[in-house]
A and B are shown apart, each in its own frame.
Chain A
Amino acid sequence: MPERIVLYTAKICPYAQRTEIALEEAKAPHVKYQIDLQNKPEWYAPKVNPASKVPAIAYGGPEVPPDQPSPESVKLAESLVLVEFVADLFPESGLLPTDPVLRAKARFFIDGVSTKLVPAWQAYSQGKGPLEDYYKAVEYLQGLLPAHGFAVGQYSIADVAITPFLARARVALINDLGGYPEGEGPKVLEALSSGIGRFARFGKYFTDLLSRESFKATFDEAYITERYKARFANARSK
C-alpha cells in the first residue's frame, strides 16, 4: 500500500502538471500544495527541494501540514522521475505498458519532447527561433505516432510528458501571445490541431490528449490565460 503523497506544485508550471496528470491517471490519493513561484516560502528549498523548483513530492513520514514538511518523509524531485515513480507505485494505472519494447518507445518519445519540442517551442514563443524549427520538432514526433491512439497506442507516460506543453502552447497561440509575428499564433494553432494537412495525424493526437480526463481535471485554462497575458504583454515590443 503506497504511503502518503504530498505534491508541491504550481498551476502555471507544465512540469508540475505532468505529475498531477500521472497521479490522476493512477487515481492516487494525494495532497496538493500550491507553491507561488514568484514568492516561494522560505521553508521550501531547505525542507523540500534544494533546487527550489516544482514539482516535488514528500513521500511517507508522519501526517504533517504540507507547509511543515517532516525530515522523515522522502523528498523527490524532477518531473519525469516523479512520473516514473507514480507508475512504479501504481502499476495497475497502466501508465507504463507491460511490454519493455513499448516502454522504450514511450521513453524515446519523451526524449524527443525534451530535446526537440520544448526547446523549439521556447525559442519560437519568445520570438527567438523560426517557426519551421518548431514545425520540424512537431513533425518528428508525429513520425513516431502509431496510426491510431496515443504515443505508443495505449495512454502512457509519453502522453503525460507532452500534454502540459501542448496545452500551454495552445493558450499562447490562440490568444496570439508571444514574441513571434503578430497574428501568427492562431494560424499556427490551426495548422497543428485541425487534423488536416501537414500535421493531420498530430492534430488528432492533440485533440485526444486534451480530451483526456486526467488532463482536464488538472488544467486551469482561465488562470493560465490570465497569467500568460501578463507574461507576454511586452513580448513583441523592441
Chain B
Amino acid sequence: MAPTEQITLYSADYSPFAQRVRIALEEADVKYTMYEMNTRFIKPEWYYTINPFGKVPALTFGGPNVPPDQPSAESAKLVESMVILEFLADVFPEARLLPADPIQRAKARQFVEIYRNYVFDEFRDAFFRGKPVEGVLAALEKLQDALPPKTGFAAGAWSIADAAVAPLLAGMVLCVRAGIGAYTEENWQKLRAALESETFARFMQYIQDIHERPSFKKTWGNDDLQIEIWQNHPGVRRLRTAENAEGFPGGV
C-alpha cells in the first residue's frame, strides 16, 4: 500500500546531490512537492530547521500539508542524499528502487562505495585541484569493472546506485567535453583521448544509458544549463584567476 504521507524535496539546480533524489522520486513515480533553493551559500532562516547544515538536498516526510517554506515540526526531516535514496527505496518497495535480492542490493551499494572511495576524491583532485589525471582514470576503470560486462546498470536493473553516480559522472564527462576544470591543456587531451578509447567503451556506454533514462533526462535539464552550472562551481571559479588562466582550455 503506497504511503500517503506528504513528500517535499528541497532541491537546487546547481546540486548533483539533489538531482540524485529527484531521479529516485521520478523512478518511484510518486507525488511530491519540489521547492527550489537556488542560493548556494546563504539559505533562508526557516531552512535551517529542516537542515541545520543548510545544504541541499533535504526531504520532509509526513506531517500536515504546509507550504514548503513553513515546515511543520511534525514532519520527519531527512538529509544526506544517500540516506534519502535508501529511505525512498524502503518507503516504496514496489518501485524496486533497489533490487529485492540481497546479493544484488549488496552489488548496488558496493558500486556506490567504489564511486565514493575511489572516484570522488580523484575527480575533485583532477578537475578542481589540477592534479594529474592518471588517478581519476584508474578510479574510473575500477568503477567500470564493477558494471555488468556488456550491458545494464550497476546492479543489472536500474537502482539507486545509478541515481547516486549519474549526476556526477555525467557532469564529469560533460566537463571533459567542454574543457571545464583546473587541468592543464595536456591533461585535458589525456582525458579526452581516454574517454574516446576502447578502454572506456563500457563506461561510455553506461553514460549513454544514463542519459537515455527518462528520470535522468527530466532532471538533468540540458547540456547548456549543466555547462553553466559546472563552469560556475565555486571550486572551478576559484582557480580562474589571471595568473593561472594560461593552460585553461577555453580561457578564463
A234 to chain B, nearest CB (A): 29
- Beyond A81-B109, A85-B102, A88-B102, whether A100 also contacts B80 by CB under 8 A is no
Q: A74 an interface residue at 8 Å Cβ cutoff?
A: yes
**Shortest CB–CB separation between residue B50 and chain A, in angstroms?**
14
Q: How far is the CA of A59 from the CA of B105 in the complex (A)?
A: 14
Chain B: interface residue total (CB-CB under 8 A) = 23
**A74, closest chain B residue (CB):** B103
A110 to chain B, nearest CB (A): 9
B61 at the binding interface (Cβ < 8 Å): yes
With both beta carbons as reference points, the residue of chain A lying nearest to B112 in the complex is identified as A81
A80 at the interface (CB under 8 A from B): yes
Q: How far is the CB of B2 from chain A (nearest CB, A)?
A: 13
What 1/0 mask marks residues of chain A from 37 to 79 whose CB sits below 8 Å from any chain B CB?
0000000000000100000000100000000000000101110
Q: Is the beta-carbon distance between A107 and B110 smaller than 8 angstroms?
A: no
> Contact: A111 with B82, CB < 8 Å?
yes
Per the 8 Å Cβ criterion, residues 79-96 of A in contact with B are 80-82, 84-85, 88-89
Q: Which of A50, A74, A77, A107 contacts B86 (CB 8 A)?
A: A107
User: Smallest CB-CB separation from B89: which chain A residue?
Assistant: A100
State whether A82 and B91 are in contact (beta carbons under 8 Å apart), knowing that A103-B86, A108-B80 are contacts in the complex. no
Q: Does A104 make an interface contact (CB < 8 A)?
A: yes
* B106 in contact with A104 (CB, 8 Å): no
Contact with B90, one of A78, A100, A111 (Cβ below 8 angstroms): A100
Instruction: Tell me, in angstroms, the Cα distance from A104 to B79 when the chains sit together.
Output: 9
A100-B87, A101-B61, A104-B83 are contacts. A81–B102 as well, Cβ < 8 Å? no
Q: How far is the CB of A96 from chain B (nearest CB, A)?
A: 9
Is there an interface contact between A104 and B102, defined as CB atoms closer than 8 Å?
no
Given A59-B103, A89-B102, are A108 and B83 also a contact pair (CB < 8 Å)?
A: yes
A103 to B82, CA, bound (A): 12
Query: Nearest-CB distance from B103 to chain A (Å)?
Result: 5
Knowing A81-B113, A103-B86 are in contact, say whether A76-B80 is a contact too (CB < 8 A).
Answer: no
Residue contact B86 to A101, C-beta cutoff 8 Å: no
For chain A, the bracket of interface size reads: 20 to 34
- Identity of the chain A residue whose Cβ is nearest the Cβ of B145 in the assembled complex: A50
Q: Are A77 and B110 in contact, with the CB atoms below 8 A?
A: yes
Partner of A104, one of B84, B105, B113, B117: B84
Given contacts A78-B110, A78-B113, A80-B113, whether A88 and B90 have CB atoms under 8 Å apart is: no
B227 touches A (CB below 8 Å): no
Q: Are B106 and A76 in contact (CB under 8 A)?
A: yes
Which of chain A's residues have a CB closer than 8 A to the CB of B79?
108
User: Does A81 contact B86, Cβ atoms closer than 8 Å?
Assistant: no
- B228 CB to nearest A CB, Å: 29
Instruction: Known A77-B110, A78-B110; judge A85-B105 contact (CB<8 A).
Output: yes
Knowing A104-B83, A111-B82 touch, does A84 contact B90 (C-beta < 8 A)? no
B148-169: contact bitstring with A at CB < 8 Å (1 yes, 0 no)?
0000000000000000000000
CB distance from B69 to the nearest CB of A (A): 22
Decide if A111 touches B102 in the complex (CB within 8 Å). no
Q: Are A104 and B110 neighbours in the complex by a CB distance under 8 Å? A: no
Contacts of A78 in B (CB 8 A): 109-110, 113, 117
B83 & A111 in contact (Cβ 8 Å cutoff): yes
- Least CB distance from B71 to A in Å reads 15
Over the window 51-87 of chain B, the binary record of Cβ atoms lying under 8 Å from chain A Cβ atoms (1 yes, 0 no) is: 0000000000110000000000000101110111011
> Are B91 and A100 touching (Cβ within 8 A)?
yes
User: Which residue, A59, A78, A104, has most C-beta atoms of chain B within 10 A?
Assistant: A104
Q: Which 7 A-B pairs have the closest CB atoms?
A: A100-B90, A88-B102, A78-B113, A85-B106, A104-B87, A81-B109, A107-B83
- Could you name 23 residue pairs across A and B whose Cβ atoms are closer than 8 Å? A59-B103, A76-B103, A76-B106, A76-B107, A77-B110, A78-B109, A78-B117, A80-B113, A81-B106, A81-B109, A85-B102, A85-B103, A88-B106, A100-B90, A100-B91, A101-B62, A104-B78, A104-B83, A104-B87, A107-B80, A107-B83, A111-B80, A111-B83
With A85-B102, A101-B87 given, name 16 new contacts (CB 8 A): A74-B103, A76-B103, A76-B107, A76-B110, A77-B110, A78-B113, A80-B109, A81-B106, A81-B109, A81-B110, A85-B106, A103-B86, A104-B78, A104-B84, A107-B83, A108-B83
